[in-house]
């Protein structure tokens, strides 16, 4: 006589296989963005908040009437170029505060690169590195193909200056500056590509 439960292992095996396949399909796109075997990015996805100040991805938009005065920055980037906020006037600018061992920074880096390419000649992208010396920062930039300049701010001068405009509160933090150089939006934590793109487009469509 056939045991009525004899087919259960086979059914369970198929269900387990399908579940595993669906999970793998969900994870692969993110892994592809940050590179295989990136333990820091994996750590960020697991949400255990090590080695960085966690942000929750929250977005704050600022009405033009409530925006502070234009952001003032004057610094030299790792590549030797001069970063001067006086040159921001007339264009939208994205400031991204990051460092190499920051797990969510590694997750958002490919999105930053893609958007900087997409908005080339329309939007300026500038990185503000809060922790790394030149070698570590440039290694990160090579890994993720970052072409826009980053400024070293290990002494915190730029971060301190930013408190008069908006609080940073987390790393990474991404700020979108309008054509007058004022903060129009802030993202705390890893920036989602679609979210940042929408904030950039909003700033681009505003009148001066």
Per-residue pLDDT reduced to its tens digit, 20-63: 443 333 333 333 333 343 444 444 444 444 444 456 678 999 99
Q: Quick one: pLDDT at residue 88? A: 86
Per-residue pLDDT reduced to its tens digit, 60-81: 999 999 999 999 999 999 999 9
pLDDT, the chain, mean = 80
Per-residue pLDDT reduced to its tens digit, 145-168: 999 999 999 999 999 999 999 989
The model carries a pTM of 0.75
HSE-up of residue 23 (Cα within 13 Å, Cβ side): 6
Q: Quick one: pLDDT at residue 143? A: 97
Q: What is the DSSP string of the chain?
A: ---TTTTHHHHHHHHHHHHHHHHHHHHHHHHHHH-TT-HHHHHHHHT---SS------EEE--GGG--SPP--EEEBTTS-EEEGGGGTTSEEEEEEE-TT-HHHHHHHHHHHHHHHHTTTTEEEEEEESS--HHHHHHHHHHHT--S-EEE-TT-HHHHHHTTT----SSSEEEEE-TTS-EEEEEESSPPHHHHHHHHHHHHHS--
Distance (Å, whole) CA 90 – CA 102: 32
């Amino acid at each position: 006589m056939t045991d009525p439960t004899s087919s259960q292992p086979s059914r369970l095996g198929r269900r387990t296989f399908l579940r595993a396949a669906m999970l793998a399909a969900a994870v692969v796109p993110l892994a592809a963005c940050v590179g295989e075997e990136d333990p820091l990015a994996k750590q960020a996805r697991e949400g255990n908040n090590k080695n960085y100040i966690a942000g929750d991805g929250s977005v704050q938009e600022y009405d033009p009437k409530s925006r502070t005065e234009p952001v003032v920055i004057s610094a030299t980037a790792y590549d030797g170029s001069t970063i001067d906020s006086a040159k921001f006037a007339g264009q939208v600018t994205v400031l991204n505060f990051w460092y190499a061992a920051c797990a969510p920074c590694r997750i958002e880096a490919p999105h930053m690169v893609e958007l900087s390419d997409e908005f080339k000649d329309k939007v300026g992208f500038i990185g503000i590195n809060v922790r790394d010396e030149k070698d570590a920062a440039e290694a990160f930039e090579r890994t993720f193909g970052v072409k826009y300049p980053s400024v070293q701010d290990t002494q915190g001068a730029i971060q301190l200056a930013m408190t008069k405009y908006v609080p940073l509160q987390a790393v990474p933090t991404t700020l979108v500056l309008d054509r007058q150089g004022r903060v129009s939006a802030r993202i705390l934590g890893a920036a989602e590509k679609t979210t940042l793109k929408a904030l950039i487009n909003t700033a681009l469509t505003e009148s001066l």
